[in-house]
Protein backbone atom coordinates (compact mmCIF):
# COMPACT_ATOMS: atom_id res chain seq x y z
CA UNK A 1 0.00 0.00 0.00
CA UNK A 2 1.30 3.43 -0.94
CA UNK A 3 1.23 6.48 1.34
CA UNK A 4 -1.25 8.25 -0.95
CA UNK A 5 -3.59 5.26 -0.66
CA UNK A 6 -3.24 5.33 3.13
CA UNK A 7 -3.96 9.05 3.18
CA UNK A 8 -7.11 8.52 1.15
CA UNK A 9 -8.38 5.58 3.23
CA UNK A 10 -7.56 7.06 6.65
CA UNK A 11 -8.78 10.62 6.01
CA UNK A 12 -11.85 11.56 8.01
CA UNK A 13 -13.53 14.42 9.82
CA UNK A 14 -11.73 15.56 12.94
CA UNK A 15 -13.87 16.03 16.02
CA UNK A 16 -11.32 16.30 18.83
CA UNK A 17 -13.74 15.88 21.73
CA UNK A 18 -15.68 12.97 23.20
CA UNK A 19 -19.01 13.98 24.67
CA UNK A 20 -20.24 10.66 26.10
CA UNK A 21 -17.41 9.71 28.44
CA UNK A 22 -19.25 9.03 31.69
CA UNK A 23 -17.07 6.94 33.96
CA UNK A 24 -13.93 7.26 31.84
CA UNK A 25 -10.83 9.45 31.93
CA UNK A 26 -10.11 10.96 28.51
CA UNK A 27 -6.90 10.34 26.58
CA UNK A 28 -5.69 10.43 23.00
CA UNK A 29 -2.92 8.94 20.89
CA UNK A 30 -1.29 9.72 17.58
CA UNK A 31 -0.99 7.00 14.96
CA UNK A 32 1.99 8.04 12.82
CA UNK A 33 2.52 6.18 9.54
CA UNK A 34 5.48 7.14 7.36
CA UNK A 35 7.87 6.04 4.57
CA UNK A 36 7.35 4.77 1.03
CA UNK A 37 7.30 1.26 2.54
CA UNK A 38 4.77 2.27 5.21
CA UNK A 39 5.90 1.94 8.80
CA UNK A 40 3.95 2.71 11.94
CA UNK A 41 5.48 4.20 15.09
CA UNK A 42 4.76 2.46 18.37
CA UNK A 43 6.47 2.64 21.74
CA UNK A 44 7.19 0.35 24.64
CA UNK A 45 6.38 1.73 28.07
CA UNK A 46 9.00 1.22 30.81
CA UNK A 47 8.31 -1.45 33.44
CA UNK A 48 8.49 1.33 36.06
CA UNK A 49 5.31 3.05 34.78
CA UNK A 50 2.35 3.11 37.15
CA UNK A 51 -0.13 2.36 34.35
CA UNK A 52 0.43 0.20 31.26
CA UNK A 53 3.96 -0.84 32.26
CA UNK A 54 5.80 -2.72 29.52
CA UNK A 55 2.95 -2.36 27.03
CA UNK A 56 3.37 -1.60 23.34
CA UNK A 57 1.35 1.49 22.53
CA UNK A 58 1.04 4.61 20.41
CA UNK A 59 2.47 7.92 21.62
CA UNK A 60 -0.14 9.76 23.63
CA UNK A 61 -1.62 10.20 27.05
CA UNK A 62 -4.33 11.64 29.22
CA UNK A 63 -6.08 14.93 28.66
CA UNK A 64 -4.38 17.70 30.61
CA UNK A 65 -6.56 20.52 32.00
CA UNK A 66 -4.47 22.98 29.95
CA UNK A 67 -5.15 21.15 26.64
CA UNK A 68 -7.82 22.77 24.49
CA UNK A 69 -8.97 19.39 23.16
CA UNK A 70 -7.89 15.78 22.67
CA UNK A 71 -6.00 16.57 19.46
CA UNK A 72 -3.81 18.98 21.38
CA UNK A 73 -3.26 16.21 23.94
CA UNK A 74 -2.10 13.75 21.26
CA UNK A 75 0.23 16.32 19.65
CA UNK A 76 1.70 17.42 22.98
CA UNK A 77 2.23 13.90 24.26
CA UNK A 78 3.82 12.77 20.96
CA UNK A 79 6.26 15.66 21.10
CA UNK A 80 7.09 14.97 24.76
CA UNK A 81 7.39 11.18 24.45
CA UNK A 82 9.29 10.75 21.17
CA UNK A 83 10.37 14.25 20.12
CA UNK A 84 8.15 14.33 17.02
CA UNK A 85 6.43 17.67 16.48
CA UNK A 86 3.30 17.43 14.34
CA UNK A 87 0.99 20.35 13.57
CA UNK A 88 -2.80 20.19 13.60
CA UNK A 89 -2.95 20.59 9.83
CA UNK A 90 -0.89 17.40 9.37
CA UNK A 91 -3.62 15.31 11.00
CA UNK A 92 -5.64 13.40 8.37
CA UNK A 93 -8.41 12.12 10.55
CA UNK A 94 -9.33 10.09 13.56
CA UNK A 95 -10.49 6.59 14.39
CA UNK A 96 -13.25 5.49 16.74
CA UNK A 97 -12.54 5.88 20.46
CA UNK A 98 -11.35 2.77 22.28
CA UNK A 99 -11.49 2.05 25.97
CA UNK A 100 -9.06 0.40 28.32
CA UNK A 101 -10.46 -2.30 30.54
CA UNK A 102 -8.23 -1.94 33.58
CA UNK A 103 -7.25 1.72 33.80
CA UNK A 104 -10.57 3.36 32.87
CA UNK A 105 -9.46 5.44 29.88
CA UNK A 106 -11.42 6.33 26.76
CA UNK A 107 -8.81 6.97 24.05
CA UNK A 108 -9.37 8.97 20.85
CA UNK A 109 -6.81 7.99 18.15
CA UNK A 110 -5.75 10.57 15.56
CA UNK A 111 -3.94 9.65 12.33
CA UNK A 112 -1.01 11.31 10.57
CA UNK A 113 0.69 10.03 7.37
CA UNK A 114 4.11 11.52 6.55
CA UNK A 115 6.68 11.00 3.81
CA UNK A 116 9.52 10.92 6.33
CA UNK A 117 10.27 11.66 9.96
CA UNK A 118 13.30 13.03 11.82
CA UNK A 119 15.34 11.01 14.30
CA UNK A 120 13.10 10.29 17.28
CA UNK A 121 14.31 10.65 20.85
CA UNK A 122 12.39 8.90 23.65
CA UNK A 123 11.77 10.54 27.00
CA UNK A 124 11.51 8.75 30.36
CA UNK A 125 7.96 7.54 29.55
CA UNK A 126 9.28 5.47 26.63
CA UNK A 127 11.56 2.45 26.94
CA UNK A 128 11.85 1.88 23.20
CA UNK A 129 10.55 3.29 19.91
CA UNK A 130 9.50 0.81 17.22
CA UNK A 131 9.37 1.55 13.49
CA UNK A 132 7.14 -1.35 12.46
CA UNK A 133 6.41 -2.29 8.83
CA UNK A 134 2.65 -1.71 8.66
CA UNK A 135 1.39 -4.44 6.33
CA UNK A 136 3.37 -7.30 7.92
CA UNK A 137 2.16 -6.17 11.36
CA UNK A 138 -1.48 -6.08 10.28
CA UNK A 139 -1.13 -9.62 8.87
CA UNK A 140 -0.31 -10.94 12.37
CA UNK A 141 -3.76 -10.17 13.78
CA UNK A 142 -5.27 -12.96 15.85
CA UNK A 143 -8.70 -12.89 17.43
CA UNK A 144 -8.01 -13.24 21.13
CA UNK A 145 -10.13 -15.84 22.82
CA UNK A 146 -7.96 -16.06 25.93
CA UNK A 147 -10.30 -16.94 28.81
CA UNK A 148 -7.96 -15.12 31.23
CA UNK A 149 -8.82 -11.75 29.64
CA UNK A 150 -12.08 -9.87 30.01
CA UNK A 151 -13.84 -10.33 26.69
CA UNK A 152 -15.04 -7.32 24.78
CA UNK A 153 -16.09 -7.06 21.16
CA UNK A 154 -13.15 -6.81 18.84
CA UNK A 155 -10.58 -8.32 21.22
CA UNK A 156 -7.47 -9.20 19.21
CA UNK A 157 -3.69 -9.21 19.33
CA UNK A 158 -0.85 -8.41 16.94
CA UNK A 159 2.73 -9.68 17.07
CA UNK A 160 5.95 -7.79 16.37
CA UNK A 161 9.31 -9.47 17.01
CA UNK A 162 7.80 -11.62 19.77
CA UNK A 163 6.19 -8.55 21.36
CA UNK A 164 2.43 -8.80 21.72
CA UNK A 165 0.35 -5.72 20.95
CA UNK A 166 -2.97 -6.09 22.75
CA UNK A 167 -5.73 -4.09 24.40
CA UNK A 168 -6.60 -0.61 23.18
CA UNK A 169 -3.54 -0.45 20.89
CA UNK A 170 -4.58 -3.68 19.17
CA UNK A 171 -8.14 -2.40 18.72
CA UNK A 172 -6.73 0.75 17.08
CA UNK A 173 -4.65 -1.40 14.70
CA UNK A 174 -7.73 -3.48 13.99
CA UNK A 175 -9.60 -0.33 12.89
CA UNK A 176 -6.75 0.47 10.48
CA UNK A 177 -6.78 -3.09 9.13
CA UNK A 178 -10.55 -2.95 8.63
CA UNK A 179 -10.32 0.43 6.87
CA UNK A 180 -7.68 -0.91 4.49
CA UNK A 181 -9.82 -3.93 3.63
CA UNK A 182 -12.85 -1.89 2.58
What pLDDT was estimated at residue 95? 98
pLDDT of residue 154: 59
What pLDDT sits at residue 55?
86
For each successive 10 residues of the chain (182 residues), what is the average pLDDT? 91 92 92 97 84 82 96 98 98 95 91 97 94 93 59 73 89 94 82
Domain topology for 3-133: Nucleoside Triphosphate Pyrophosphohydrolase (3.90.79)
pLDDT, residue 152, reads 53
State the pLDDT at residue 52.
56
CA geometry: angle 37, 128, 61, nearest 5 deg: 95
- Taking only the tens place, the pLDDT of each residue in 9-31 is 999 999 999 988 888 999 999 99
pTM of the model: 0.91
pLDDT score of 51: 63
Secondary structure (DSSP) of 5-58: HHHHHH--------S--TT-EEEEEEEEEETTTTEEEEEE--TT-SSSTT-EE-
Amino acid sequence: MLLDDLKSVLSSSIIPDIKDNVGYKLASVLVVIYDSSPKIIMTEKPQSMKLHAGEISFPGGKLDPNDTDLLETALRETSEEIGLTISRDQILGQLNPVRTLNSGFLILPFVCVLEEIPLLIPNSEVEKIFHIPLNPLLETMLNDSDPNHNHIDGMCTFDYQSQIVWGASARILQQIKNALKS
